[in-house]
Amino acid sequence: MDLMENLGRFSIQRVQSPVLMATHIKYPCYKPSNHLGLSNFSLNKSLGICCCTKMVGGEVFSETSSSKSDVDYLGESTKGDLNVKKEHLEAFGIDGQATLEGPIEEIARIEAKEAEALLTDLGIPDPVSSRHSPHGIFCSRTLNLRSISAIGYDMDYTLVHYNVMAWEGRAYDYCLDNLKSMGFPVDGLEFDPNLVIRGLIMDKERGNLVKADRFGYVKRAMHGTKMLSTRAVSEIYGRELVDLRKESRWEFLNTLFSVSEAVAYMQMVDRLDGGAIPTELGRLDYKGLYKAVGKALFRAHVEGQLKSEIMSNPERFVEPDPKLPLALLDQKEAGKRLLLITNSDYHYTNKMMQHAFNRFLPNDMDWRALFDIVIVSANKPEFFQMSHPMYEVVTSEGLMRPCFKAQSGGLYSGGSAQMIESSLNIHGDEILYVGDHIYTDVSQSKVHLRWRTALICRELEEEYIALIHGQGHRAELIELINQKELVGDLFNQLRLALQRRSKGRPAQTLAATNMDDQELMESMQKLLIVMQRLDHKIAPMLETDGKDFNQRWGYLSRAGLWDKSHLTRQIEKYADIYTSRVSNFLHYTPFMYFRSQEQMLAHDSYCYSPPYPNDFAIGEVSKSLSV
C-alpha cells in the first residue's frame, strides 16, 4: 500500500464522522504551507500510518453492525458507518469536547473548504467532479455503499466488455449463415451497428423498430431499414402506447447483445416487403420472420461456434480495462463479499475472466481469488425468480456434483438467489447487483429480492460527449422555440380579442378593445408568417438533434427535445445507480454515499425563479390564491 493510497483511505474514514473536525485530526502533522511536498513527510512520525492503520482496526473507530444499525435522515441504513471512540481522541492530541463547540454550520463550512484544498493537494478528484465526466456514477436512488455487504456482478458486457463490431458482427454472420441454410435470401447483407441503439423496441406485428418516450408514446420509427416520417409515425402509433408487458408484440432491446438480432431482423423485413422470401418457406408475416431470425441467432449461440471462436482469440473480441480488477480489489479489501453470477458456462467464463483479469492483478493473483462465490450457468432471470438445483464444479474439466449450500471460495452452477442469500446470511438491500441487462440483471433482482442495483451502459461515454458537442445546437433550437412561444402567445391573445369583437364583447384589456380592425388583422397576419417560418426552421433541427450520437435515433437517454426515453425511464425505475463501466468505481471509494439529485417537477422552475412582471411579489401570489 503506497503513500497516496493510505492518504486517500484515511481521509475517507475521517469524513464519515462530524466529530473529527480539524485538519490536524486528519493528519496530525499536516502543514498547509507544505502542500505538495509529500516527500518531506515521514511515514511513521508525520502521518503515523502504522499506528493509525492499527487504530482504525478497532482501537479508535468502531463499525456499526447490522444489529445496531439505524436509518439516517434519507432513509438509508447506517450499517457499516464508522463511529469514533471519544475516549481515544487524545491519541490525536486534541480535546474532543472542544472540537464539538461552536455552530456546526461554521465548523462544516471551514472543514469543507479545507477538505477541498487537501483533495486538490493530494491529486484526488472529489466525487462531484467525477460525476461531471463520462466516467461518472450517476444516482437514481440514494445508495450508501457502506451498508452493502455483498456485491454481485454479471460477466458479459459488465466485467468483460466486448468490441461490439467484432462480437456482434460475428454473431450477425453466424445468424445469416443459419438463415441461409434455412432458405432465406441473405446475399448482399452487411452488419451495420449504427442501424440500431440500445433501448429501442421492436414491433413484431408491423416489422417496425420504434423509439418511445417515458410514457410509451412513439417518437421515432423505422420500417425495415427506412425511417418513417413524423406524419407516418403519428398515423400508425398516434392512438396506442408501447406496453412491454405485451411480449407477443413488443421486444425491448435491453442490451448490446440485442444489436445483431435487431439489425438482421430489420434487414430481413426489407427482403420480405420486396417479395424476396421464397414461397417454399411458407406464408410469413413480420412476427413469423422475427421468430425465424431469433431461431437462427439462437442456433449460433447453442452450437457453440461463436464462443469457441472467441475463446480461441479473445484479443480480437475483448476490450481490456486494466483498472477494472483494481476496483474490485478495493471493494474486497473494504470487506465486501464479491459474487460472480453469470449465464455463461464454466469453460467460457474461466477463459474470459483469465484474459480480462489475471494480467492486471497484483502478485500473480488469480481472478477466482477476488470472489467469495462464483455462479456459472445461472439461468437468469429465473435465478432471481425461483429455486433451481445447484451443483458444485469440482474439477477443471467442469465435473459437477449436487450441493445445497454455497461455501466461500466455491464455484457453482445453477442454483438461485435465495440460496446465495441463505449461504451468506445476508438479504435484500444488503446486496448490490451490477449488470448490463435492464431486465435480466437489474429489474428482476430488484422486483423479486429488493437487491440494490447498478446498470452498466457503455454507450453513456459516447452520449456524454455527444451531449457536450450538441449544446450549441440545442441552445439555438430552444431559443427558436421560446421565440415562437412568445410570438404565439401574442397571436393567440389577438385572436381572442378578434373573437370577442366578432361577438360584440370587449377584449381582454381596454387597449386591445381600442385596436383598429386593420391594425389587428395586419398584426395577426405578420405573426402567423413569422411562426410558419419558425416551424420550417425548427422542424429539421429537431430531426437532427442528437445526430452526434446516432444519425437515425438521436440520444440514448432522450426522446424528443424535452423528454426522457423509455430506456431512461426503465433505468430510473430499476437501477439505483448507473455508469458506463465497472472501473468507474475507482473514481469513488467502497465507502461512498451516493445521493440522488433533486427531481424537478413541471412547476418547480416557477417556484425557484419566478418570472414575476413588474416586481410582482410573493405576497401578491398568496393574496391571489386566497381570493
In angstroms, the CA 421 to CA 115 distance is 39
Burial zone of 185 (CB within 10 Å; 0-12 exposed, 13-18 middle, 19+ buried): middle
Asked if residue 209 and residue 290 are part of one domain, the reply reads: yes
Asked if residue 523 and residue 425 are part of one domain, the reply reads: no
Residues of the domain holding 438: 150-155+322-458
Residue 612 within a domain: no
pTM, entire model: 0.84
pLDDT over threshold 50, residue 2: no
Asked if residue 365 and residue 252 are part of one domain, the reply reads: no
pLDDT over threshold 80, residue 618: no
| Strand 431-435 to 150-153 pairing | parallel
Residue 29: what pLDDT? 39
Contacts of 73 (CB under 8 A, 6+ apart): none
Q: Which DSSP string do the residues of 285-306 spell out, in sequence order?
A: -HHHHHHHHHHHHHHHHHT-HH
Residue 508 within a domain: yes
Residue 448 within a domain: yes
Residue 176 within a domain: yes
Asked if residue 279 and residue 199 are part of one domain, the reply reads: yes
Asked if residue 499 and residue 422 are part of one domain, the reply reads: no
Cis peptide before 322 (omega within 30 of 0): no
Residue 346 within a domain: yes
Residue 139: what pLDDT? 95
**Integer angstrom CA distances of residue 361 from 159, 224, 330, 587:** 14, 46, 12, 18
Among 267, 286, 314, which residue terminates a domain?
A: 314
Q: What is the CATH number of the domain that holds 433?
A: 3.40.50.1000
Most confident of 18-22, 96-100, 371-375: 371-375
Residue 360: what pLDDT? 96
In angstroms, the CA 453 to CA 143 distance is 9
Asked if residue 350 and residue 220 are part of one domain, the reply reads: no
pLDDT over threshold 80, residue 87: no
Residue 267 within a domain: yes
In angstroms, the CA 188 to CA 55 distance is 69
Residue 31: what pLDDT? 41
Asked if residue 337 and residue 290 are part of one domain, the reply reads: no
Contacts of 208 (CB under 8 A, 6+ apart): 202, 221, 222, 223, 228, 236
Asked if residue 92 and residue 66 are part of one domain, the reply reads: yes
Grid look-up 383598429 returns: 516
Among 577, 598, 620, which residue terminates a domain?
A: 577
Residue 100: what pLDDT? 58
Mean pLDDT on 488-500: 94
Residue 91: what pLDDT? 59
Asked if residue 511 and residue 435 are part of one domain, the reply reads: no
In angstroms, the CA 373 to CA 409 distance is 5
pLDDT > 70 fraction of the chain, expressed in percent and rounded: 84
- Strands of 524-615 (E only): list them: 558-559, 563-564, 577-579, 593-594
Domain count, the chain: 4
Mean pLDDT on 96-112: 76
Asked if residue 302 and residue 174 are part of one domain, the reply reads: yes
pLDDT tens digits for range 409-468 = 999 999 999 999 999 999 999 999 999 999 999 999 999 999 999 999 999 999 999 999
Residue 99: what pLDDT? 60
Asked if residue 284 and residue 198 are part of one domain, the reply reads: yes
pLDDT tens digits for range 114-165 = 888 998 898 888 777 777 889 999 999 999 999 999 999 999 999 999 999 9
Residue 609 within a domain: no
Residue 89: what pLDDT? 66
Residue 582 within a domain: no
In angstroms, the CA 405 to CA 403 distance is 6
Among 423, 458, 493, which residue terminates a domain?
A: 458
Asked if residue 430 and residue 365 are part of one domain, the reply reads: yes
